[in-house]
Chain A
Amino acid sequence: MPTPDTEVDLAFLDIDAGHWERAQESLRSGQAAARRASDALTVGNPFEGVARAYHEQANAVAGNLETGHARLQDVRDLLARNKARYLAADSHAKKAVASAGHRAGGSHPHPTSSITPGHGHGGVPDPGPVADPRPGPVPADPTPHTPWRDLEAQVDKALEHDRQYGDATTPAGSFETAQRSVIAYTAADGSTHLVSTMPGQGDQARELTVSFLDRDGKAEVVTFSATSTPGTGGAGDGAAPVDDGVMRALGGASQVNIRYVDSAGQVHTLSTGSGLGNVVVGYVDSQGRQHMVSNEPIPSASQPGSAPGSVAR
């Protein structure tokens, strides 16, 4: 089922999986031949040394084949999991688009995320890196990033707000003037982290900056400072004035960077290009309304109601 907005043609995954399956069948046939070869030598006294030298190597190769058979199964499983993940993400994104479109009509205030490509070309989530199999024997599954839903739940919990829902698209709902902010993200190893401007909610940041490239390739920078009035920022060419629309555009980000200064004054930098996976930003604006945006992608921006944007609640 080729889908133009995935990073890999899903039909290609099936083709590859078919080849791995046939390769596995060949290995099974090889295993049987290796077993026959190993069993072929039945000599004992006084040729134990001969038998030992032979069986040692024969069994090692037969063991290689057995392990190889299992490893090829791992590859097939890996392809199947990735396909399932792509399909699930695709389905979820379509539902989110439809849901966002519905909410734009005024019904169902429900937390959701911006959905456009996180990184890469397509509109489905990159399942994360597949580890180099060396030196370990098992090709690792793509690192499972914590789903956006879970990150949102963490952000939601951290904000602990009185649930005044508002419209994040109004200037009054800007991140820049937020009372408090929380960022939940996954690192390259799949671990989940929380950074907030509030004590006791993950790593405490006294200054928090989110920068990213929007869908048009423009650099956007927004900063929250716990000690001063938040200011606007820019990232060179294409930097845009900060307003609430900037946070809306996070959904289209191809590169998200988080920079924060912790309570000890140490600066931390994270980037989707190097170790930062899924990101959910939550904040409570000056009017006490809670907002949540993320870099969760959607299959296609051309679908109805798919324009990126945060939803306040």
Chain B
Amino acid sequence: MSPTEHVAALRNVVSQIAHYRLSIQGTLDTIHAGIAATTSPRQVSFRKPPGLDIKPARTAEQEAFMDEYPLMFISLAPLYSTMSALEQRITLLCDTSGWVDQLQGAAGDWENVERALSAASQEVFDSQLPAARTWKGSAGLGYQTTVAAHRRSLSRVEDAARGMRFGCSRAAGAGESFYGVVRAGMRVPLSVYDANHASVTLPQLANFTQYQHSAYQAADAAITAALATLEANVARSFGHSRSKREGGTGDPDDLVSVTETLPSWAAK
């Protein structure tokens, strides 16, 4: 279980966003220059003789673009900022994605902890302790009580270690899902033509002041939400271990607190 594929896709998205961000102004300039070179303003001078103006008149859409062109550059600054922040955020998520594999690897260490506890339990199993079986009197009774308490503690900590192993795997799974969710949430515009009206063929000012800016903000918010979900899932992943350690049933939602019936191995 590894988020490698998602991380690679996200790095690609970051690259696309950066490329787009760096190309916006140049693209708009090119469009502007093209329209200026190939069209005439719709208001034709009466002093010019008919037939001398060979450029076709601009369409309403071209005329609107040329009018909004100066304002577009003013609106680009906040968009650039939002895009740049998103790029950095995704890059950081990708650069730190190693934790998923770290958790998966930690599961192996917890398995070793389980083995060690199992071995310890075997050592003090009933048949192994002749004194515990035969010691008479109040001291013997006290020893038997002690042995039983330690066996319970060993068993519970072993359960808790097992919970950590499973928890690591679950948390790693939650991590992979997280990167998948973030990847899916990257529905961001990557062209000046992207707008909320399919019929529009030229960039509109509203693209940059409203639609595209909102789309990048929404992508950022999706990451924030995914992180919150991830943290909740990870906490839940280790809830089994916590519950077992605290003497509960193992249900991650079982918020049993320590009572007098719990094992004697409270952590320092």
Interface residues of B in 214-268 (CB under 8 A from A): 227, 230-231, 234-235, 237-238, 241-242, 245, 260-262, 264-268
Contact A139 B116 (CB under 8 A): no
B241 engages A61 (CB within 8 Å):
yes
Contact across chains for A64 and B266 when beta carbons are under 8 A apart: yes
Known: A20-B123, A40-B102. A133 touches B137 (CB 8 A): no
Tell me the nearest residue of chain B to A37, going by C-beta. Answer: B109
**Among candidates A8, A26, A33, A59, residue contacting B136 with C-beta atoms closer than 8 Å:** A8
| Interface pair A54/B103, CB less than 8 Å apart | yes
**How far apart sit A127 and B135, CA to CA, in the bound complex (Å)?**
12
Instruction: Give the nearest-CB partner of A121 in chain B.
Output: B136
Binds A, one of B14-22, B46-54, B92-100, B202-210: B92-100
Q: From residue 208 to 246 of chain A, which have CB atoms closer than 8 A to chain B?
A: none
A45 CA / B109 CA spacing, docked (Å): 24
Nearest CB in chain B to that of A14: its residue: B131
Choose from A13, A23, A54, A132 the contact partner of B238 (Cβ within 8 Å): A54
B231 near A53 (CB under 8 angstroms)?
yes
Instruction: Please name all residues of chain A whose beta carbon is closer than 8 Å to the beta carbon of B238 when the two chains form the complex.
Output: 53-54, 56-57
Known A41-B99, A119-B137; judge A135-B262 contact (CB<8 A). yes
Question: Who on chain A is nearest to B117 by CB?
Answer: A30
The residues of B that contact A72 with a CB separation of less than 8 Å are 120, 150
Pick the interface stretch among B26-34, B72-80, B159-167.
B159-167
Q: How large is the interface on B (under 10, 10 to 19, 20 to 34, 35 or more residues)?
A: 35 or more
Please tell me if A131 contacts chain B, counting CB pairs below 8 Å.
yes
**CB <8 Å contact, B264 and A137:** yes
User: Which residues from 88 to 126 on chain B have a C-beta closer than 8 Å to any C-beta of chain A?
Assistant: 89, 92-93, 96, 98-99, 102-103, 105-106, 109-110, 112-113, 115-117, 119-121, 123-124
Interface-centre pick from B113, B121, B136 (highest chain A CB count, 10 A): B113
Instruction: Write the chain A residue with the least CB distance to B144.
Output: A130
Partner of A61, one of B115, B161, B175, B268: B161
In the bound assembly, the distance between CA atoms of A130 and B150 in angstroms comes to 14
Partner of A68, one of B129, B134, B147, B157: B157
Question: How many A-B contacts at CB < 8 Å in the complex?
Answer: 251
Alpha-carbon distance between A139 and B141 when the two chains are bound, in angstroms: 12
Shortest Cβ distance from B96 into A: residue = A43
B residues with CB within 8 A of A: 89, 92-93, 96, 98-99, 102-103, 105-106, 109-110, 112-113, 115-117, 119-121, 123-124, 128-132, 134-143, 145-147, 149-150, 153-154, 157, 160-161, 163-164, 167-168, 171, 175, 227, 230-231, 234-235, 237-238, 241-242, 245, 260-262, 264-268
**Partner-B contacts on A (CB < 8 A):** 7-9, 12-13, 15-16, 19-20, 22-24, 26-27, 29-30, 33-34, 36-38, 40-47, 49-51, 53-54, 56-68, 71-72, 75, 78-79, 82, 119-122, 126-140, 142
Given A37-B106, A136-B264, list of 11 further CB < 8 A pairs?
A16-B132, A19-B129, A37-B164, A57-B163, A57-B241, A58-B164, A59-B267, A60-B242, A64-B266, A68-B150, A130-B138
6 pairs, CB–CB < 8 Å, chain A vs chain B: A27-B116, A47-B227, A53-B171, A60-B267, A126-B139, A131-B142
